């Protein structure tokens, strides 16, 4: 057992006893961890509000061996997520971002840059940025860091370049990207998307959109394209999470 200190964002809390919580944290140095926070529910908790959902804190914990829960010893609040001040949709988007990280990551597997990406996304949602653009950026950045980013330009079966000027383009979630007409029969559960949808997904996947000025997604993009973008992303994330994320039911406005 060892004492570790790191930065963390609270992804989930569950009651463990009358006075304690089990918390799921995503940290900069150790990836996701599950820990017991003894006394966290007391009126004079040693953690105060540092364990509020999506709060960013400096934490100290004792790492246990095997599959045992770690023991959280200290948490000092650095930033609280105040998405509700920007509206219900930004609030739900923040909860969704936390659920996404929790669903796609494994315990004690560090992912460089993921904590900062999540923190930046929460700050953007608080500041009133476009929720559709902010969440798309975060989703694509997350799957890129995890090695799940689809191929948007070349057929995943034969490597042929895919032109986005066709009436529709085939996309295979299980295959991991676009599919040329000759290879479509080899794949099941094909999605048919427009060239504009493919273009936007490819542009937002280059890893630079997280720091660029907004491109107008959600205001200039036709509603049918916004709907297709959400359909593709939900399909990808459900495939890798092996379930539909609960907060997606609250994000229908991203399609409009």
Which tens digit of pLDDT belongs to each residue from 8-32? 999 999 999 989 999 999 999 999 9
Instruction: Judge if 114 and 16 occupy the same domain.
Output: no
Instruction: Judge if 120 and 235 occupy the same domain.
Output: yes
98-115: average pLDDT: 97
Residues near 87 by Cβ (< 8 Å), separated by ≥ 6? none
pLDDT score of 93 more than 90: yes
pLDDT at 22: 96
pLDDT at 213: 44
Residue 156: inside a domain: no
CATH code for the domain in which residue 15 is found: 2.40.50.140
Instruction: Judge if 74 and 11 occupy the same domain.
Output: yes
Out of 79, 107, 124, a domain closes at: 79
Distance set, CA 136 to CA 127, 141, 254 (Å) = 17, 8, 10
Instruction: Judge if 43 and 75 occupy the same domain.
Output: yes
Instruction: Give the predicted TM-score (pTM) of the model.
Output: 0.92
pLDDT score of 215 more than 70: no
How many distinct structural domains can be found in the chain? 2
Instruction: Judge if 22 and 120 occupy the same domain.
Output: no
Instruction: Judge if 144 and 219 occupy the same domain.
Output: yes
Phi and psi angles of residue 177, each rounded to the nearest 5 degrees, phi first: 160, -165
pLDDT at 74: 93
Structural domain of residue 215, as residue ranges? 86-149+205-255
Out of 79, 104, 136, a domain closes at: 79
Instruction: Judge if 47 and 107 occupy the same domain.
Output: no
CA within 13 Å, CB half, 41: 12
Of 48-52, 97-101, 102-106, 172-176, the range with the lowest mean pLDDT is 48-52
pLDDT score of 256 more than 90: no
- Which has the higher per-residue pLDDT, 94 or 163? 94
80-92: average pLDDT: 92
pLDDT score of 219 more than 60: no
Instruction: Judge if 45 and 63 occupy the same domain.
Output: yes
Instruction: Judge if 137 and 224 occupy the same domain.
Output: yes
Residue 166: inside a domain: no
Instruction: Judge if 6 and 123 occupy the same domain.
Output: no
DSSP string, 137-152: HHHHHHHHHTT-PPBS
Neighbouring C-beta atoms of residue 129, cutoff 10 Å: 18
DSSP string, 150-205: PBSSB-TTT--B--TTSS-EEEETTTTEEE-TTTGGG-SSEEEE-HHHHHHHHHHT
pLDDT score of 96 more than 60: yes
pLDDT score of 56 more than 50: yes
Tokens of 164: 């986005």
pLDDT at 43: 74
Residue 15: inside a domain: yes
pLDDT at 211: 45
Out of 28, 53, 79, a domain closes at: 79
- Which has the higher per-residue pLDDT, 209 or 226? 226
Which tens digit of pLDDT belongs to each residue from 155-189? 999 999 998 888 899 999 999 999 999 999 999 88
179 and 190 Cβ atoms separated by less than 8 Å: yes
Instruction: Judge if 90 and 59 occupy the same domain.
Output: no
Instruction: Judge if 103 and 125 occupy the same domain.
Output: yes
235-248: average pLDDT: 97
Among residues of the chain, what percentage have pLDDT more than 70?
A: 94
């Amino acid at each position: 057992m060892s004492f570790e200190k790191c930065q963390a964002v609270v992804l989930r809390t569950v009651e463990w006893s009358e006075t304690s919580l089990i918390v799921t944290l995503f940290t900069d140095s150790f990836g996701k961890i599950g820990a017991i926070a003894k006394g966290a529910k007391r009126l004079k908790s040693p953690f105060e509000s540092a364990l509020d959902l999506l709060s960013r804190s400096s934490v100290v914990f004792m790492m246990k061996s095997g599959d045992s829960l770690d023991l959280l010893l200290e948490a000092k609040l650095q930033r609280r997520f105040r998405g509700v001040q920007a509206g219900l949709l930004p609030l739900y988007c923040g909860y969704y971002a936390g659920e996404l990280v929790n669903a796609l990551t494994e315990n004690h597997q560090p992912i460089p840059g993921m904590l900062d990406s999540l923190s930046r996304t929460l700050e953007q949602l608080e500041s009133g940025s476009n929720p559709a653009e902010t969440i798309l950026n975060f989703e694509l950045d997350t799957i890129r860091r995890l090695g799940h980013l689809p191929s948007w330009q070349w057929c995943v079966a034969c490597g042929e370049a895919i032109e986005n000027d066709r009436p529709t383009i085939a996309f295979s979630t299980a295959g991991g990207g676009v599919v040329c007409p000759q290879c479509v029969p080899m794949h099941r559960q094909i999605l048919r998307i427009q060239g504009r949808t493919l273009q936007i997904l490819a542009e937002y996947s280059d890893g630079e959109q997280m720091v660029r000025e907004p491109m107008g997604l959600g205001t200039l993009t036709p509603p049918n394209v916004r709907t297709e973008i959400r359909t593709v992303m939900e399909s990808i994330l459900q495939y890798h999470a092996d379930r539909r994320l609960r907060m997606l039911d609250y994000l229908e406005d991203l399609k409009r």
